[in-house]
Each structure stands twice: as C-alpha cells, then as structure tokens.
Structure 1
Amino acid sequence: MPLLKIQNLSRSFDDKKAINNISFALRKGEILAILGESGSGKTTLLHLIGALQEPDEGELLLEGNRITPPSRKLIAGHPDIKLVRQDYGLFPNISIRENIAYELRYYEENYRNKRVDKLLKLSGLDKVQTHLPREVSGGEQQRAVIAKAIAEQPKLLLLDEPFSHLDAVNKRRLKTEILRLIKAEEVSCIFVTHDVSDAYGMADRLAIMRKGKILQLDNPQTVYQHPANRYVAEITGEVNIVNEDWVAKAGIKHQFVRPEQIRLALLSPLKATVLSVKFLGSYYEISLKCLEQELKMFSFEALVVGAEIGIEIKN
C-alpha cells in the first residue's frame, strides 16, 4: 500500500482550474519533487494534500484512509502531515532549541528533551541551539523549521520552495543536510520548486506541473533524458530543439538534444562550424552551426571559433 494516494484531484478558483484531474501515489520513505513555473498549481496541490484547502473533486488517501477535508474539521490540517511554508515560521524571541521543543510541549519532559537533542544533532544545530533565529544563517533557520516540523514524527512532510531564500553555496549544503535528516527520520516528503537543480540529487521522483496538470512523473534521470514534450525538456535543463528535417539528416531519434549529447568525432560525416566559445568554470559552452541549425554543446576543452569539426549525437 502506498503512503499517499491521490485520485482525480481537482480545484478551481473563479472558474479557473488550479489543479486539473491529478492522480499519483507516493511510497513510504520516498522524496518527490514537483517542478513548475509560478502559477502552475504547485502550492495549491500541497495545500490540498495537507488538508488546508478543499478539493472540488477527487480523493486523498493516507495509508488507505481518506484525508478529511477542512470543511469537516474544526481546525484545518492533518496530524500526520506537516507543511513547511516559504516564510520560516520560527518564533523570533526564543532560541532554536525552544522553537523545536515548542512542538512537543504536551509531551513528557524527559521524552521531549531526548527528542529535541536527537533532532538538533541530526540537523547539525546543536552548536547554535541557544541562539535566536535572527542570530543564525538562513540555512540554519530552514533546518530548524524542518526539525520543528518533524518533531512529532509525521508520516508526510510537505516543503514549499524550501531553497528559494538561499544562495548557491547554502543551497547545496542544505540539500545534503535535509536529505540526511529526512532519511534518518524515515519520513516521506513532497517538495515544490521552480528550479530543477533543487530536485537533482535529492528527489527519488520528479513531477513536472503546468497549468494544474502533471505532464510527466518519473525518476529524474528518465524525465531529463526522455522528456515527454518541449515544456518538460526546457524546464529540466539546457536543450537544443531541432526540427524534424534535421532529425532525419542527423540520424537521431527525437527533436530534443541535450548539449552534453553532442560529442566531437573527427571522422564523423556530420560537420559543424564553431560560432562562439564561452568559459563557464568547469566546462565550455560551444555554439555551433550544423545543417543550417544552431546548436549548443558542452566541452571540457576550448575550441577555435570558425573551425569546422565533426560531431556525433549520443542517443
């Protein structure tokens, strides 16, 4: 039995479908990333799963039991599902430790202290536990919020744009630390993002949303290498969109060619002219013209502008 099962879920605002007939299942311990542009319905979907908004149609099941919609409860939400919003939600005038402990205020003191100690250690916050939220970094604040959210050991954690406030260095560090924390606590997780780099290396599966629909849902590698359509191809990374005539002449199978699929091949009959070379740190971005089509390729070596080279396309 999946942990979460969503069947034919829909939600409209002012006659506009924010969520349009979505169905999928989430396994226990799985991390699912939902990727889409602003307005695609990602946050609305989280609110429906968390029983914070009312669906117009469809059903949500947690471990086989129907999730009660907010209209049938005094207080919206579900005790086994925790949502972490974009605004951190920490109490500003109490310490990091006290923020986490607040979630366990109705538990026996000895258990509460042991649980907080464990979460502080797992999240790497033990050295700043006495600090106020404003005295720690954005990444530490985000870890504290997540530790607070899983303090009562929910079955499902929902994260709304968890990395949006962070710079690249803190984002990479936080991804590693959140992944370790989630796996250690054996909690399932769904997080939404507009940046595909947030999903790579963290998500077990990746769903692409657009206008309230899921266009493709699979493991990240499959979604990247075999995108269902142009939108999926473009939102998941750099891609060359070639026409059908070029596909036939180049002898490839589809119109979506990733820059890293283009390789130098001295003896190849497929020739290209180097238009420009850009240094991007660990690699070069090479612009080519081949069969009247401009292409982008990646190379670890700089090429000479104006040179004619042989290339091949790795399917």
Structure 2
Amino acid sequence: MSSLVQVQNISKSFDNNAVIKNISFDIPEGEVICILGQSGSGKSTLLRMIGGLEDADEGTIMVDNEEITGPAKNLVPGYDFINFVSQHFKLERFRTVKDNISSVISYYPDEDREARIQELLELCKLTEKAKSFPHELSGGQQQRVAIAMALADEPFLLLMDEPFSNLDVNMKTEIRGEIVDILKKAEVTVILVSHDPVDAMAIADRVMILENGEISQIDSPKELYENPKSSYAAQFLGPINYIQTNGSVEGVRPEHFVLSDSGTHEGKISQCLFMGMHYHLSVNSGIAESKLLIYSKEALPVGQSIRFDIEKGS
C-alpha cells in the first residue's frame, strides 16, 4: 500500500518554544490514524501544518506527491483535496441537511451533484433527515452532516480535530461506531486528533502518541496498549501498574492480575470502589512501591489480605 502522506523532519516553534521537534512518519492510503497527546503536546499544530494552514519552520510535508506549504507561500491557505472536520460543525442553520451538503459541491453538474448528495445521505444514514434543519438534529446527527459535507467533494485526506469534544458521553459512544463505518466505506485517509484514548482505540488503525512535540510511539491500538515503549504512552492509554520482577520494573494492566487463594503474590486491600463493570481494588503489596490497581468481579472488604498471580504474557 502506497503512502499518501509523507512527513519528513518537521519542526515548528512559537516564540522560541519548540512545539514540534523534527518528527517524521508516513500514512498509507486509506488508513485512519489518531494523534494522541496531552494539551500542549503539538497535536493541533501538526494537523494544521499537514492541512496547509500553518507553516513549518523546517522539513517537508507531501500529500499525494504534492508538497504542502502554509500561509507564507499560499495567498489562500489550504488545499482542495484536504478537508477538515472540527468540534464546531459549521452547519448553515437556515439550510436543510441536503442543502448544506449541496453547498459544498455547488459547482458540480446538476445530475452529478444530486447523485453525490444521495450517496452521502445514504452513507451517513441521513436519508430521512434530508429536509431537516440543523436545530432539528441531535448532536450525533449534526456530526454526521459535518462529515458528509467534508466528504462531499471526495478529498484525498480528511483531518479531524477533536470532532467528538462537543458530544456527551452517551452520544460519543453511539457516534464512534457509526463514524468507523462511514470512514471505512468512504475509503478516505483520515488523521484524527484527540486527547481521549477511547477515540483512538475505537476508530484508528494506528495511534501516534505525541509527547512534548516528539513521537513517543506509533503503532496499532492493540500493540500500544499491550506493549507500550514508554511510561507516558502506557499511562495515556489506561491505568497501569509498575511492579518489581526479577530485578526489573514491569508494567501490568489491572485486568492482568488474577485473584487466587494460591496466588504467588500477596497484598492488603486499602480501598474498594464499584465502577460498574467491576470493582477497583487499591492494594498494598511488596512487589510495587505504590498501590496496585486490581480489577475484581466482586466487592472485597478493606483490610482483607489477598493473593494473586499475574497472567503470563501480560
């Protein structure tokens, strides 16, 4: 599979503060990649440079073999084969869903425009909402309209900057699955910026962890979760315990502890919290300097001594 996006040795500073520090990576055509990082890690700046809305200080960015440059070289920043979807849906309030989509491709011949609109309404599950106005739609439906508009003129690359941040938790859970289906069926290459690891795990083929403007790790969600290469990457994707084993420190996810009366290790429960799917046990144990987080299917009393093993291969 050929690379649609090639980023080589990109750096960017603001007021002598390095935001992006000499990073390089490629994105194959059709891949969905998520950029994760804490606030200030450089996520949105990197996305804007790839979209041609910000100038890089050093390095080159190529999309479909065309060099991407920013406002310093382009009178009108941006490229017609790269589209953005942001947390602000930017729908015209007095236009119907159909007319919002139509406005993006108004230059298409009438027959082609109508065919494309119908294709997008079906793809984004909006056929029954074609004549509705934005205020008549749920947040998730508005999100799907925004994506339909971004896909309308068939861009090579779709850039999504925190697209779910305005949705409540229940809405996010519902819309994620729908967005995965839409993006895969559209066969578009996507770069998604988020601070939420659940977005990355649910949507992306690969995840890039940015730490202070540098790539900490770039890998599949499963590989990143199970084999993080740094404590920053490990903690970003979920709770992790650091334990002493055979003179070295090993990271173990809470679900990889197995409670057993004949377990190799022992500890004492200092806290037990019900979290819905399971209980969170805080455990004092000699194999770790700080308290262990262990998941349990049942409530256990504070002060109780327990024994546990660590799953092999964890």
Q: Normalization by structure 1: what TM-score?
A: 0.94
Q: 1:30-45 counterparts in 2 under 5 A?
A: 30-45=31-46
* Root-mean-square deviation (Å): 1.5
Q: Does 1:109 align with 2:107?
A: no
For 2:299, which of 298, 302, 307 is the aligned residue? Answer: 302
For 1:270, which of 249, 265, 269 is the aligned residue? Answer: 265
Q: Deviations over 1:76-110 (max 9, x none)?
A: 11111111122211112111111111011000011
In the other structure, the counterpart of 1:79 is 80
Q: Deviations over 1:40-98 (max 9, x none)?
A: 11111111000111111111111233224433323111111111122211112111111
Distance 1:268 1:107 in 2: 68
In the other structure, the counterpart of 1:290 is 285
Q: 1:12-161 counterparts in 2 under 5 A?
A: 12-161=13-162
Q: Deviations over 1:106-140 (max 9, x none)?
A: 00011111111111111111122212112211111
In the other structure, the counterpart of 1:247 is 245
List gaps (5 residues or longer) in structure 1. none
Contact 2:55 2:69 in 1 (8 A): no
In the other structure, the counterpart of 1:222 is 223
- Tell me the CA shift for residue 293 of structure 1: 4.2
Distance 1:254 1:198 in 2: 29
Distance 1:196 1:237 in 2: 8
Distance 2:158 2:133 in 1: 24
Q: Which amino acid aligns with 2:246?
A: A
Distance 1:293 1:247 in 2: 15
In the other structure, the counterpart of 1:208 is 209
Moved more, 301-310 or 130-139: 301-310
Q: Match of 2:59, SS?
A: strand
Distance 1:71 1:220 in 2: 36
Q: How many residues align?
A: 309
**Identity rate, percent:** 39
- Tell me the CA shift for residue 230 of structure 1: 1.9
Q: Deviations over 1:161-196 (max 9, x none)?
A: 011011121111111111111111100101011110
- Tell me the CA shift for residue 256 of structure 1: 2.0
Moved more, 97-106 or 282-291: 282-291
Q: Match of 2:201, SS?
A: coil
- Tell me the CA shift for residue 304 of structure 1: 3.3
Distance 1:179 1:70 in 2: 32
Distance 1:52 1:66 in 2: 13
Contact 2:104 2:153 in 1 (8 A): yes
Contact 2:270 2:283 in 1 (8 A): yes
Moved more, 83-92 or 108-117: 83-92
In the other structure, the counterpart of 1:194 is 195
Contact 2:11 2:58 in 1 (8 A): yes
Q: Which amino acid aligns with 1:162?
A: P
Distance 1:241 1:161 in 2: 31
Q: Match of 1:146, SS?
A: helix
Distance 1:9 1:269 in 2: 49
Q: Which amino acid aligns with 1:64?
A: N
- Tell me the CA shift for residue 275 of structure 1: 2.0
Q: Match of 2:203, SS?
A: coil
